[in-house]
Structure 1
Amino acid sequence: MVKKNRMNRVAAVMAAAALVSVAVPAATAHAAVAPRVDLKVLVVDDGGSSVEAITAELRDTGVPYTRVALGSGSRPVIDAAFLSDTVDGRPRAKYQGVVLPNENPFGAGSAEMAALAAYETAYGIRQVDAYTWAHPGVGLEYTDNGGYSGQLDGTPATVTAAGKAGPFGYLGGQVAFEDNSALVPESYGFMGKPRPGYTSYLDAPVDGGRASLVGEYTHDGRSELVVTFGYNQHQTQFRLLARGIVEWLTQGVHLGRSRNYFAVHVDDVFAPDARWNKELNCTPGDYACAGGEGKESTIRMTAADAQYAAQWQTSKDFKLDMLFNGGAGEEWKAENGGVDALTAQLVADRAKYRWMNHTYTHPFLGCVQDVTTVPWSCKKNTLGTTQYMSRAEISAQIRDNNNWAASKGITLDRTELVTGEHSGLRTNPQQPQDNPNLAGALADNGVKWAGSDNSREPAQRAVGAALTVPRHPMNVYYNTGTNAEMADEYNWIYASREDGGSGICEDNPATSTCLPAALDVDTGYLDHIVPQEARTALRHVLANDPRPHYVHQSNLAEDRTLYPVLNQVLDTYRSLYAPTAPLVNQSMKDTGVELGRRTAWDKALAAGQVTAYRVGTTVTVKAPSGVVAPVTAPNGTKKQHLLGTSDFGAAYAGTRSAWTAPETLQSAVTLKLPS
């Protein structure tokens, strides 16, 4: 069977090459006029995870694409007319790059593959083979000639010198293939030795030598990026390579913009958090904790914890966002003899952090809660109307916290706010709509950006004149101060009843997976939970996701449970990326702006309101009025003004990019690429 497949694929490549040789002379008719190349990618989709992953990278970074479902009976035929035409007397290539499931998904002798090959040759268009096997048809030796095929979990792949000088220069050198479980195979692929015309960009050791996993195959006037391992859009090995795949495909000029973002919000600063009770398996002080009366205990940072936080920030070159409740701190001080060393230390170090309003005393700002029911419900008046916290009360919580910060010399952006528990925003199922008084209170205090819970509402939306900024919850619990408490509560949620857990995971298999065995409470946090949480956070970081993560001040106290997670995220990231691609640690406001721009851009693309193309070294981008366009271009690119030019964009990961709009009196963005 393997030999037959080899023969079929080789025959298909030879047939396509023969047809290309007939079609190439047609390109010479266009030689006198530089063609227009539209900034859009053609994706031929076979439904596999590898094409899906590349499509997700295009979508999530704002690169426009046309998807052709290979198995659809109503799909268009890919022929010369589908791929190119003439606009205003100039030949036009409709796609700047082509993504295929493999080197020839149409079959031996296919006219569609021949049309694609001729098109790529005529216009210098590149092709990505999303996942194929090692064989001479893609410039590689068969795996039985010094190569390998099989499971790749944990493979120590390395970016080659050519890869660093080319599309993967933003990487530090190592590409980590995931190996999260010894019980589950996670990746499979082929490694082959290069033949003439093939340049390896990523390789790995095989029997004392090295063989390629990703490389460029140049032949018959065409270039293919050959990937010989399978992947999905979430796996680390793909996430590391995704940027370079797009840059190679588009030759470094495309719509869309990508960064690696990481910000961490520390909620409840100055306030104590309630503590988990191991015996009761709940949190005393919580209305749903039966038998917890009189057993309440709290977790709160100390001055030493604050000193450690400042030192940690410096050592890791990373700034935390402190979301504070000034009134809660004043209450603590009053209850503890008028002394609060924590507040004094944090205020002394105030310039070392970013600060954000989290309301004065952290009340629930939504409906008036009836906690006599489980779960709680919204109280109603005699007419059956839901009772809500008033606009005046909400406004006072925002205003008083701002004033408290000013009295302490703490600088903050008053347009940003995260309410306690994201309250005031809709909370399903009990409160399916926002507190109708919330939008007015936000407006009263000039709030434009309101933090929301990404696990409930991942999309940005309007709350009156303000916009939400979804935040990723980190699975480091607010009600635990020690590693053992974390593991104990984790066991209660994720262990089966037989193993001493609540059985929630058994009752809800669609949304929760039971642990194979309960964690050791002494070692489970560091050995199991930390690596898992770090992987999850890093996955967000590598996916061009600007949404901040949030934890609580309790996670900086006692055992300081947060730091092992953050250390692993930061250390892993910096070991994998070159200094040209630093983490972007930005404010919530900047994230809100970014998400708003993306929404407007995606709508413009979906409505077909964007025109963008390249002619020689000139790039033209037209978008609807008020919509800024994300554009990526090589170093040395200039933006054209009415008079003169300026450097375009900001440097990141070896290219320059920006959200950009036409200058005054211009109808389009015009960029001049380096020669």
Structure 2
Amino acid sequence: MRTRRTVGKTDSRRGARPVVTGAASVLLSMGMGMGMALPAGTAHAVGTGTRTAADTAPRIDLKVLVVDDGGPSVEAIRSTLDAAGTPYTRVDLTDPARQKIDDAFLADTVDGRARAKYQGIVLPDDNPFGGSSAEMAALAGYEKRFGIRQVDAYTYARPAVGLNVPADSGYAGTLDGKTAQVTPAGATGSFGYLRKNVPFEDNDPNVNESYGYISTPLAQQPDGASYTTLLDAPIPGGTGRGSLIGQYNHDGRSELVVTFVANQYQAQYRLVSRGIVEWLTQGVHLGASRNYFAVHVDDMFASDDRWDTKLKCTPGDVDCPGNPTPEHPALRMTAADAQYAKQWSQSHHLPLDFAFNGVGSVEYRSEHGGLPDPLLQQLTADQKSFRWINHTYTHAFLGCVQNTTVVPWKCATDAAGKTQWVSGRNISDEINTNRAWAAREGLAVDNDELITGEHSGLKMLPQQTQDNPELGPVLAKSGVAWIGSDTSREPQQRLVGPALTVPRYPMNVFYNAGTAQEETDEYNWLYTKKSDGGSGTCENSKVTTCLPKPLDVKTGFGTYITPLETRIALGHVLANDPRPHFMHQSNLSEERIGYKVLENVLSDYAGLFADNTPVVNLRMRDIGTELSKRAAWNAALAAGKVTAYRIGNAVTVTAPAGVQTLATLPDGTLQGGTAFGAAYAGSRWAWAAPAAGQGTLDFTLPAGSTPVLHKHGGAAAPVQAPAAALPVPRGVSHPVPYGPAATARR
């Protein structure tokens, strides 16, 4: 069976708890919305009694305070907290009616116990409030009193933050294309998940995409102060190295001094973002972050029509004349390709998910005199090396009935003008016939996962503005819980009948290309101007741009397309994004060009991350479950229904019934007397739920994980003068695309 495309091939390329014991235990329902500026609540005490020395430890709520000036650096940190499910309160400095920061906003007393309302402070720079600011003084005193840390998201290198000014012994300017490194101090601290190098992006030589200050620490720090560089870089024009991120301890306070600006999409920020949050929260926080990479290979057992380099279209598609010819046969994997897939998957420790269409094997036998299908034989023998997903029997379009007499196609209508839909019976046949075929061939498949051909049945703009109403009921009857969708159309998970979607990233390795030259020829056609021999569609597109000139068809795939697709996919991996990527079986046939991109992603990743931070590879159902849990967790946070705090080495979390808690805690943390969670990036993480009959979660942190506290009262913590306004290049405020097919950074 040839897999025909009727949607313009949009699926193959980018369109762009045990209750706390003790007399002073308190459960406070506080606002913990992600990114919501919430008023301070009133605490209500529960019980009093005789205190021990341990009972005098303050309560520190597990929530971050983000003071936002609207700049990209603070926005980047907010995006990291959002993605992880880490709650924060935002104070918008651009809002004249904003909440003022004072002692009452930051702390209060609960049942006689001091309460710090925020476990960490994010500021745009080391002092965004102006000279003699009462707000900055309140923050400084709060940090000193409770041992709370402060991140300066982007600040000028100067003595007030423990550094020499760049003009004396450093550098100020663009950092495009430069490579920073984690220092030994950073590697033994919050940045130990990185192998060493932190490269700065340089996507467009005509646009400045970064700016920063590389500066050396003061040779003579003020009394009691110290500066420890955690990320450094060579000083251009010099022989030494200077700080880009460092820890400045002074006056009983601790600041993370970041002297470069970045946006949330840039690789240099995504690489250090975990370390910034872990440093800020001292390794104890709600939410979690991991690096995910899963790859679905669609159309297994089927064949895919081949791009014609002369016609500049794909014979067999509705928008291309003719059918495949012996000179341009359809693309289908061989038994040797299947053997290679097994070897590759095992050697790269990346199981592939095969979405299969059984009719392709049936047609192969019919076309070869009833002889067995070697591809089926090989993959059945090696089936445990892969994961298998029902992709429907014939890859039929399951949305509206298509009128393909016009280009682009449109939904057929009846005499009354109503949309005609593919019937529920036909949808059911596609699902169940594929299951029955797999069972006959001895192929083990999980029936709760489904990917329809071209994600059909789901709404597909502009032609089909709603789901096929027959789809949801069939999914219910068929026991389908997870259905694949396309992130370029619908990036968020949603319900379809009883099933939840699993959005998938299309990789720009085209379904109709089996060789590098075919891929490059089609790429040129799509992304070059008419005057350069291309289709010209990029000239008036809102989602793509044009190449400055056509790629060399002999070298373009290796020198341009592969690196570009690697950067795009790796960007998703670094974004705590579990959504899978997908390509097609044709890309694992002939020249096997799909592996080139996958190998680059894995190789680049291995060069950036330490062994304690492996790529997380999940099957489709587990990805869907992760997305679903996150949605429930984030909804609970936004509704203010989560309470979390630490008192000494005890952490208590309360969440709504049925909502699992996501947390990251230090290695050595116990939950109910046993080790908490799973190891990742030097910490422990888990989705956790209370024991039966309990309403709260209790964790016991290891010794040495309690913040250093200072006695209340005494001299106020000194406050430095405000930082100057700093340069923000256009390439930071307006993210620079990776390439013509990736104008929207994600």
Name the TM-score class by shorter chain.
over 0.9
| 2:41 equivalent in structure 1 | none
* Cα deviation, residue 387, structure 1: 2.0
Q: Indicate the larger mover: 152-161 or 592-601.
A: 152-161
Q: Aligned partner of 1:433: which letter?
A: Q
Aligned ranges 1:221-236 → 2 under 5 Å: 221-236=252-267
Normalised TM-score (structure 2): 0.84
- Aligned runs of 1:44-83 on 2, under 5 Å? 44-83=67-106
> Equivalent residues in 2 for 1:480-499 (5 A)?
480-499=513-532
1:310-354 residue CA offsets vs partner (Å, 9 max, x unmatched): 121122121111111112221122113334222222222211111
1:145 Cα deviation from its structure 2 partner: 3.4
| 2:244 corresponds to which of 213, 221, 225 | 213
Cα 1:592–1:311 change in 2 (3 A) is: same
Distance (Å, rounded) in 1 between the aligned partners of 2:369 and 2:122: 68
Quote how far apart the aligned CAs of 1:279 are: 1.8
Whole-angstrom CA distance in 1 between matches of 2:104 and 2:126: 21
CA change 1:236–1:497 in 2 (3 A) is same
Contact 2:306 / 2:324 at 8 angstroms: preserved in 1? no
The residue aligned with 2:503 is: 470
What is the DSSP-based 3-state SS (H/G/I as helix, E as strand, rest coil) of the residue aligned with 2:505?
strand
Shift of 1:621: 0.8
Map 1:368-383 to 2 at 5 A. 368-383=401-416
Partners of 1:480 and 1:31 in 2: CA distance: 67
Tell me which residue corresponds to 1:300: 332
Partner residue, 2:538: 505
The one-letter code sitting in structure 2 at the alignment partner of 1:88 is D
For residues 72-117 of structure 1, give each alpha carbon's deviation from its aligned partner in whole angstroms, at most 9, with x where no partner exists: 1111111111111122222111111010010001112111111110
* Structure having greater relative contact order (Cα 8 Å, sep ≥ 6): 2
Residue 381 (structure 1) shift: 2.4
**1:412 is aligned to 2:441:** no
Structure 2: which amino acid aligns with 1:254?
H
User: Residue 667 of structure 1 corresponds to which residue in structure 2?
Assistant: 695
Unaligned runs of 5+ in 1: 1-29
CA RMSD of aligned residues (A): 1.6
**What CA distance in whole angstroms lies between the structure 2 residues aligned with 1:550 and 1:616?**
47
Structure 1 runs of 4+ with >3 Å offset: 290-297
State the 1:290 CA deviation. Answer: 4.2
1:121 and 2:153 equivalent?
no
Q: Which one of the candidate residues 624, 640, 665 is aligned to 2:656?
A: 624
- 2:592 matched to which residue of 1? 560
Residue 599 (1) aligns with residue 631 (2): yes
SS in 2 for 1:145: helix
Matches of 2:680 and 2:294, distance apart in 1? 18
CA displacement 1:222-274 (0-9 Å, x = unmatched): 00001111111111111111011000000100000111000000000000001
Q: Check the 8 A contact 1:478/1:551 in 2, yes or no.
A: yes
Match of 2:470 in 1: 437
- 8 Å contact from structure 1 (residues 326, 360) kept in 2: yes
Task: Structure 2: give runs of 5+ residues left out of the alignment.
Answer: 1-52, 704-746
Write the distance in 2 (CA, Å) between the matches of 1:527 and 1:557: 21
Letter in 1 for 2:584: H
Q: Could you tell me the TM-score, scaled by structure 1's length?
A: 0.93
1:577 and 2:600 aligned: no
Structure 1 residue aligned with 2:671? 639
Counterpart in 1 of 2:233? 204
The CA deviation at 1:157 is 1.3
Which residue number corresponds to residue 189 of structure 2?
166
In structure 2, what is the equivalent of residue 357 of structure 1? 390
Counterpart in 2 of 1:13?
none
Whole-Å separation in 2 of the counterparts to 1:574 and 1:291:
46
* Equivalent residue runs for 1:21-420 within 5 Å: 33-195=56-218, 196=221, 197-206=226-235, 207-290=238-321, 297-339=329-371, 340-420=373-453
* Aligned residue identity for 1:661: A
1:657 is aligned, of 681, 685, 691, to 685
The aligned counterpart of 2:15 is none
Matched residue type, 1:223? S
> SS at 1:337's partner residue?
coil
Instruction: Give, in angstroms, the shift of residue 156 of structure 1.
Output: 2.2
Per mean C-alpha deviation after superposition, the further-off stretch among 312-321 and 530-539 is 312-321
Name the amino acid aligned to 2:547: L
2-side partners of 1:428 and 1:135: how far apart? 53
Return the letter of the residue paired with 1:427.
M
* Distance in 2 between residues matched to 1:577 and 1:235, nearest whole Å: 16
User: Do the aligned residues in 1 keep the contact of 2:449 with 2:483 (CA within 8 Å)?
Assistant: yes
The count of residues paired between Structure 1 and Structure 2 equals: 641
Deviations along 1:412-447, one digit per CA (max 9) or x if unpaired, are 221111011011111112221111111122122211
What is the Cα deviation at residue 293 of structure 1? 8.3
Q: CA deviation at 1:205?
A: 2.0
- Farther-moved stretch of structure 1 (215-224 vs 339-348): 339-348
- Per the TM alignment, residue 485 of structure 1 is displaced from its structure 2 partner at its CA by 1.0
Whether the 8 Å contact between 2:352 and 2:387 is mirrored in structure 1 is: yes
The CA distance in 2 between the partners of 1:568 and 1:613, in whole Å, is: 42
SS in 1 for 2:337: helix
Aligned partner of 2:449: which letter? E
What is the match of residue 19 of structure 1?
none
Encode CA deviations 1:584-607: one digit per residue, 9 max, x unaligned.
111110010010011111111111
1:609 aligns with 2:641: yes
Letter of the aligned partner of 2:256 in structure 1? L
Cα separation, 2, equivalents of 1:233 and 1:489: 32
Bigger mean CA deviation after superposition, 358-367 or 378-387: 378-387
Deviations 1:543-577 (A, max 9, x none): 00000000000101112111110111000001111
The Cα offsets for residues 272-297 of structure 1, whole Å up to 9 and x where unpaired, read as 00111122221111111246687974
Counterpart pick for 1:479 among 512, 523, 533: 512
CA distance in 2, matches of 1:181, 1:353: 39
